Every structure is written in structure tokens, then in C-alpha cells.
Structure 1
């Protein structure tokens, strides 16, 4: 596998934003239209990169996917508590799926969390239908934390997010 995981470069932000938005839309994970709400957040990689660490998986110069690593709280943390890092917005281009890209991105986040002083745990939220992602998390030792499940849009009861954690 010639896939390299590294920090996203500004010239890659648009490609990663498109991959992330398309992954969520194609997988039926969003009910939003282009330009609305969370879709805009998914596409705005520059904003994420200004508040956290955005990683990309690249092969032969092509962006295959990415993830946002939130090392210790900050504006992009949804569920992280003190001493916890958080994984957000993991996405892999549909054409690159099944090649270990998602797992490599999650592993890179775990390595960064282990290297973060005072970090004892890494957490994440996921939708119920993201079964491939769940398998990655569980294979890497993450465990479900149903007591932390939450809903970003309370009136949409079907949108309760499942949570996982990995104690480092």
C-alpha cells in the first residue's frame, strides 16, 4: 500500500471537502441540501484546519480521504472531556474504500492521541448506519459508550449518534 497519511495541505482542502461531503451524501447520512447546515461544515476543511489537525490519506498525489483530529477540546470537540482527544469527520472516497484507508486514518489519530501530553482516551461519534466504520473502530480496540450517545439536532430523534472510546 503506497498510501501516505499526513497533515492536509491548503491545496488539498477543496478535494477533501468534496470527498467528505459526497461520502456523507452518497451513504445517505445527511438529509441536507447542498450549502445547508452540516454539509457546509463538511466542505469547509480550511475552517477545520484552523481549529484542529486535518489529516489526509494520499496515494500518488491523489487525496483518497481524510479525518479531523481534535487533540484536546477546542471548538471542534463534540464530546471530548478533559484528557480526551476526538476523531471527527472520517471520510474515504467511495472508489478507495476497502483498501485500508479509513483504518490507516484512524490509526494515525490514535498515534497522535498517544503522543499528546495528558491525553488518556480518544473518543468519537458515529451514525448508526456507518457499519464499516464501526468495524474499523472495534478492530482497533474502541468500545461502545452508550451512556455518551447524543443527538446534535434533538427534534430529529433518528439522528442519535453512537459513541466509542479507546483508553490509551
Structure 2
């Protein structure tokens, strides 16, 4: 499968939001009726306030496979990025596209975006239960940085992964 990662187009934003919300809800990382589910669904805001990258199957119909929000430090979507770090948020791959390299392509594209902005590092938060994502991150050189772990709300504990890119 040929995968192309690029900025999301306006006509793809609703589908990108559904992929993100469905992945997080379907994998048990958030509830369907909470505030976070609504944020996951709202790809339009993410595309307007950050960069929304999409992975597309380029071998035919251009099927949307997944997406990730890329944020620069000091911007509204950067929660843990220090001044020399870019940050990714809400990495999601459609269930039918998993195992094909879309997640890795999205992370690598975000790393390239960070380097293009002159940022030597990248950091992001992840839930402890996201074991498949952790394996991907570690394979790409990211490491858990326990001293940066945090909790946005009492019932959610997040781990921070970071790397020199």
C-alpha cells in the first residue's frame, strides 16, 4: 500500500474527526459521551488552530487511513512541548487500516514537520493503556520521560514520551 501524508483538506475534516473519535472510543481510551470525545470529533478546530495531517491510501481511491494533530510549542494544542519541541496529539488510525504503516507514516511526517520548523525534539502525551502506540513510539526512538507525566483530570494519568529527532 502506498501511503501519502499531507495536510487535511476541508472535505476530509469530518471523516478525520470520526476516525479519531471512533479509535479512542472503540479502543476504550475515552467514553463516547464525554467532553474529550467531542474534542476528538472536532477536526475542524484542530485544523484551524494547529496542523492536521492525514494518511491517505494513494494506490487508488485516496481512502483516509488516519490522522494526527501537529502543534508547535506555545500554541493552543501544545500541552507538554517545551520551547524546543513540537508535539503531536490525537494520533488515530481507522481500525480497517491498522497494521499497514499509517501510524508510523503519520509520526514520521510530524517529525519531519518539526525539523522543518527548526525544532530538534518532539514530545507528546499518551495513556498508559496505549501499548501498541508505545511500541511504535519506542521503535521510532521515543522514550517515556516519567518526570514529565501528568494528569489533565483526576481520573486520567498521562505518560509523556519524548525524543531528539
Q: Shorter-chain TM-score category?
A: over 0.9
1:58-73 matches, within 5 Å, as 58-59=56-57, 60-73=61-74
SS at 1:98 equivalent: coil
* Aligned length, in residue pairs: 162
- Asked if the contact 1:85–1:113 (Cα under 8 Å) also holds between the matched residues in 2, the reply is yes
**Segments of 4+ in structure 1 off by > 6 A?**
none
Per-residue Cα deviation, 1:98-135 (whole angstroms, up to 9, x for no partner): 11110110000111111112x12100100111111101
1:161 counterpart residue number: 158
Greater percentage in strand: 2
Aligned to 2:76: 75
Structure 2 Cα separation of the partners of residues 45 and 4 of structure 1: 19
What are the ranges of 5 or more consecutive residues in structure 2 without an aligned counterpart? Answer: none
Match in the other structure for 1:15: 15
- Partner Cα distance (1:13, 1:77) in 2: 20
Tell me if structure 2 keeps the 8 A contact 1:73–1:85. Answer: no
| Separation of aligned partners in 2, 1:73 and 1:65 | 25
Q: Distance in 2 between matches of 1:105 and 1:77?
A: 17
SS in structure 2 opposite 1:160? Answer: strand
Shift of 1:72: 2.6
RMSD: 1.0
Give TM-score scaled by structure 1 length: 0.93
